[in-house]
Amino acid sequence: MDDSGKFQKYSAAIAYADVEPEETESFLSKVYGGSVGMMVSNLVGRGALSEQEIQELKAILDAAEKQEESSC
């Protein structure tokens, strides 16, 4: 809120889609040495994934596998 009592609206200067891939890589590199597998293993080991999230991950992996098979 500013001095006149009115709220100020702010928005991001950089789009999330422009920052997210780089930040994801940075996080993985710093925390898990770049290993997605280690990150997922940690989440599974702590019981941090819901059944829905597990199903979503399976679908993503299945789609990636099919895409790789079709590109060979």
**7 contacts: CB under 8 Å, gap ≥ 6:** 1
Going by pLDDT thresholds of 50, 70 and 90, the confidence category of residue 59 is very high
Q: Give the range of the structural domain holding residue 31, as residue numbers without chain letter.
A: 26-71
pTM exceeds 0.75: no
Residues 6+ apart with CB under 8 A from 54: none
2 lies in a domain? no
* Total domains in the fold of the chain: 1
Asked if residue 13 is part of any domain, the answer here is no
Residue 10: band (very low, low, confident or very high) from pLDDT cuts 50, 70, 90: confident
